[in-house]
């Protein structure tokens, strides 16, 4: 695996590559990330991953400074997963001057759910992804379904800017008990880790209730939030949405259930298509 620290080094390494397949990450990698890398290997003639902890998507009270940096284990894992090129710029390389030009996704998609509880988050995500796309110039990029809203926003960004990039979704990877793999799972205490599976179990119950047709989606959402709160969680949202635009359902549509809740000091998210 080759490591590029600068944009110039990266472009030199990719100079003769016709179809790079790209997986952007912030490091602290787990099997979910590595599964995306393995998926990307089959989609291009060279597999590129990036590690960059993007300050723009962190709110002032969030964990930018303490976000785990696990460089050595990340490099070893990426090489074993078959990554060909790792792009690992520092902040001055990617943002040599204040990033005053930013990508603002539409409010109707970016200011709901995660965007409501993390204002400006998707501006930071969209801006860094656009810049990484400019650096790597991939023909395929793989994003995980665990960040469902992010995946939708990136897909729309690529379409509206007519970028020649195919966005491929990777299925959510889960632990044996069903907990969605996440870098933030490492913040959980042993007892919290045992409890954390309740988020995915609650989403499963929401999906079953939807399929049975016995309850209105508003009642399903309320029951889900109440059941988690009774167990000591602090839910931000447990909702039923249309897959097409993440708005509340109005008829016979393809649906997804999405949840975000805080367990102790750790905020977890998950979703399941119905």
> Which positions are annotated as active-site residues?
33
Q: How far apart are CA 168 and CA 164, in angstroms?
A: 13
Cα within 13 Å of Cα(4), Cβ side? 23
Segment holding 20, helix H or strand E: strand 20-25
Q: How far is CA 235 from CA 122, 218, 230, in A?
A: 20, 15, 10
3-class secondary-structure state, position 258: strand
Which residues lie across from 20 on neighbouring strands? 46
Q: How far apart are CA 174 and CA 200, in angstroms?
A: 10
Question: Considering only CA atoms, which of 79, 99, 84 is closest in space to residue 4?
Answer: 84
Token pair for residue 98?
């204040």
3-class secondary-structure state, position 101: coil
Q: How far apart are CA 227 and CA 204, in angstroms?
A: 13
The pairs formed by 224-232 with CB atoms below 8 angstroms and a separation of 24 or more are: 224/259, 227/202, 228/198, 228/199, 228/202, 228/261, 231/195, 231/198, 232/195, 232/263
Question: Considering only CA atoms, which of 181, 167, 186 is closest in space to residue 269?
Answer: 181
Site of tokens 């991939």? 138
């Amino acid at each position: 695996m080759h490591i590029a620290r600068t944009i110039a080094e990266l472009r030199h390494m990719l100079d003769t590559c016709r179809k790079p397949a790209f997986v952007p990450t912030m490091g602290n990698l787990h099997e979910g990330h590595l599964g995306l890398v393995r998926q990307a290997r089959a989609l291009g003639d060279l597999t590129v991953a990036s590690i960059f902890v993007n300050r723009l998507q962190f709110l002032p009270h969030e964990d930018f400074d303490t976000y785990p940096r696990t460089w050595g284990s990340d490099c070893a894992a990426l090489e074993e997963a078959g990554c060909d090129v790792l792009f690992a710029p520092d902040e001055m390389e990617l943002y040599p001057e204040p990033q005053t030009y930013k990508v603002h996704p539409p409010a109707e998609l970016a200011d709901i759910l995660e965007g409501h509880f993390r204002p400006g988050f998707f501006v930071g995500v969209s801006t860094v992804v656009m810049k990484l796309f400019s650096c790597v110039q991939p023909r395929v990029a793989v994003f995980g379904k665990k960040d469902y809203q992010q995946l939708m926003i990136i897909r729309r960004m690529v379409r509206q800017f007519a970028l020649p990039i195919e966005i491929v979704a990777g299925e959510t990877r889960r632990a044996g008990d069903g907990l969605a793999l996440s870098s933030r799972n490492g913040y959980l205490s042993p007892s919290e880790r045992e409890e954390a599976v309740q988020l995915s179990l609650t989403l499963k119950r929401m999906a079953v209730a939807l399929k049975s047709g016995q309850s209105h989606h508003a009642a399903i959402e309320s029951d889900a939030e109440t059941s988690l709160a009774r167990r000591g969680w602090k839910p931000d949202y447990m909702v039923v949405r249309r897959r097409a635009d993440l708005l509340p359902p109005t008829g016979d549509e393809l649906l997804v259930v999405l949840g975000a809740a805080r367990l102790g000091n750790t905020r977890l998210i998950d979703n399941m298509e119905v």
